[in-house]
A and B are shown apart, each in its own frame.
Chain A
């Protein structure tokens, strides 16, 4: 594979340093799916956080769009070994969505329109590490990439960044999600190459 020069971004680390073990760079944006693409009309879309005390916080599309937005630029790493650098998104930090949520739960189960789920420790969603995004590369997020809105948690393999996100359930006990119950690693840190159960 050729070495990609990013000289015009002098302050960035070399692409090689930003590539976790076993990954290769792509310039396109591969689409992987485990089912039909859900089509969610915006007037019926909602996002919810359900706490372990059975309190639910809900946002309609209008309410979600009124929240303060951020434009993270992040590297993403798929467990199928492709990585894509400097992807640009627009959306709402989970820190904003969790501002008024009272919880002592340690675990989160993210659930999506279409039935997909994925689990992670709650702390991996907070402190500037995760967003619910609705724009990619300056455009509305396409349904095949998870639009109208998806989660991004760039420090974990990209299957944790649930497309078509619908809500987050907070749990006292860990509850493995769709791929985590079918052989994939429970946590999925690309820098430790946690691809499969037992890695």
Chain B
């Protein structure tokens, strides 16, 4: 049984917070340096929170917890994020 979903599962929850499509953004893993689209992350959850892990080293890249009236987003596992924005 596959325990995780792919990073496209983050589209809705992140779409609530950001105006650009975050799943096509390119991130760099702070642990192993692997670079790739958010859609390629391995996503566990959704409860108690979404945990996205690097497909290379399995370290946590992103966490998102949604409570009533608040969302907590942790991007400590990501060095940088390249976002596609209009010219």
- List A residues at the B interface (Cβ < 8 Å): 32-37, 79-80, 115, 159, 179, 181-184, 195-197
A33-B44 contact, Cβ under 8 Å, with A182-B49, A183-B65: yes
From A32, A35, A196, B58 is in contact (CB under 8 Å) with A35
User: Are A34 and B65 within 8 A (Cβ)?
Assistant: no
User: Are A33 and B3 within 8 A (Cβ)?
Assistant: yes
Which chain B residues (34-87) contact chain A, with CB distance < 8 Å?
Answer: 44-45, 47-49, 51, 53, 58, 60, 63, 65, 67-68, 70-72, 74
Cβ–Cβ < 8 Å partners of A184 in chain B:
48-49, 65
Cβ–Cβ < 8 Å partners of A35 in chain B:
44, 51, 53, 58, 60
Cα(A183)–Cα(B74), bound, Å: 10
How many chain B residues sit at the interface, stated as a range, is: 10 to 19
User: Are B70 and A36 within 8 A (Cβ)?
Assistant: no
A187 to chain B, nearest CB (A): 15
Cβ–Cβ < 8 Å partners of B63 in chain A:
182
Residue of B48, B60, B63, B72 ringed by the most chain A CB atoms within 10 A: B48
Cβ–Cβ < 8 Å partners of B71 in chain A:
183
A32-B48 contact, Cβ under 8 Å, with A183-B67, A184-B65: yes
Cα(A33)–Cα(B42), bound, Å: 12
A36-B4 contact, Cβ under 8 Å, with A181-B74, A183-B65, A196-B67: yes
0/1 interface trace, chain B 12-50, chain A, CB 8 Å (1 if under): 000000000000000000000000000000001101110
Cβ–Cβ < 8 Å partners of B65 in chain A:
179, 182-184, 196
User: Are A37 and B3 within 8 A (Cβ)?
Assistant: yes
User: Are A79 and B58 within 8 A (Cβ)?
Assistant: no
28 A-B pairs within 8 Å (CB atoms) are namely A32-B45, A32-B47, A32-B48, A33-B3, A33-B44, A34-B49, A34-B51, A35-B44, A35-B51, A35-B53, A35-B58, A36-B3, A36-B4, A36-B53, A80-B48, A115-B60, A181-B74, A182-B49, A182-B74, A183-B49, A183-B65, A183-B70, A183-B71, A183-B72, A184-B48, A184-B49, A196-B68, A196-B70
From B3, B44, B49, B58, A179 is in contact (CB under 8 Å) with B49
Cα(A179)–Cα(B68), bound, Å: 16
